[in-house]
Amino acid sequence: MQSHNTSYLLRLDSIRFIAASMVLLFHGSVVQIAFLHSLNPFLVWIQEGHRGVNLFFALSGFLFALIAGKGQPIIYKNFIFNRFLRIFPLLIFVFLITAAINRDTWHAYQVLGLLLIQFNLSEFQSQPTLGTSWTISTEFIFYLLFPFLHQFANRYGERYLIGLISLFIIMRFLCLPLMPNELNYFFSILGRFDVLLVGMLIGRYYLQHSKVCINYYALPLTLLLLTAYFMLLSGMPHSPAYLVLHPPFEALLWSLLIVTTLNSKILWLSFEKLTARLGSVSYSMYLLHPFIIVNCQNLNLIENPLTNALIVSTMIILPSSIALAFLSFHVIEKPFLDFRVRYFS
């Protein structure tokens, strides 16, 4: 999406669409047949589609590193104002719709979840229409801290970010006896924040080495590496070592995908422009697709459960979510985004 504060990179929006589609197809398939278990290299991208959240996070860290890369001081209040315009209009809309659905059981204190941006709590996670909003809690904390992280990284160098990533790894290890439920890691900053930091670190590296991986083969090799990684993890029980080390490792893989996509000499022309346009509405796709899914969960078009799940997800849920996202983007998101301001002094 184009901004007043950075030049537009078409392929970053394409990556946003890939991330949103992974999450959407994963949720659509899970509703149909619980969890897929396949070693098909194509299906494994749907089976492991929840990992698209880490792609979103790594991309956010990477993008903000590019935006702030010139070293100009960031005007904090303008930066947060822009982030508020980006996040809150659609989030408030979804929250009010969910509150209307739950008017008999919700109370006024639920509004604190919105004001404090704490959607990773169980009372919100149990709501199908707010189930994806937990990521905003982690994302917005990163927004609040980014101007400081940027200044510290400029002052102390990249070793500061490496030290902070190491701190999160150590804290995950120390918290293992206290958090037996691994979902508590993945729905919180404890398991996700260093993904953003890795994206930021690689973004700063890219600013200094922007010519890396300019060729035809780096992107296909990266896709093969990610596919092999997904297939390796498919169905594998998550060990303590996985819980502790996985987030930054996966963030490195997603960052590699971002870099090789930006610098790939493979051109897909109109297809690239299409995916970038779809990526510009990825936030609406992400927040609104649960409304489509709950209306499709009992669709049985054919007898084979796997094939039915794939057809419903790809042919009904995905295009319907895209159509709804374009509408919401133009009537809710875009009018507010036009109020954005420059945040470099």
The pLDDT value given to residue 325: 97
Whether the Cβ atoms of residue 288 and residue 7 lie closer than 8 Å to each other: no
Q: Is 345 exposed, middle or buried (0-12, 13-18, 19+ CB in 10 A)?
A: exposed
The pLDDT value given to residue 5: 43
The pLDDT value given to residue 303: 79
Name 194's Cβ contacts closer than 8 Å, sequence gap at least 6: 164, 165, 168, 169, 247, 248, 251
pLDDT tens track for 291-306: 999 998 888 888 787 7
The pLDDT value given to residue 37: 65
pLDDT tens track for 82-123: 999 999 999 999 989 988 888 887 777 778 777 777 777 777
The pLDDT value given to residue 4: 47
Parse the chain into domains and list their residue ranges: 10-337
The pLDDT value given to residue 33: 61
| Ranges in the chain, pLDDT < 70 | 1-8, 31-38, 70, 235, 269-270
User: Which letter, b or e, does each residue of 268-280 get, where b requires 16 or more Cβ atoms within 10 Å of its Cβ?
Assistant: eeeebeebbebbb
The pLDDT value given to residue 279: 93
Cα separation values, 305 from 295, 302, 316, Å: 17, 8, 16
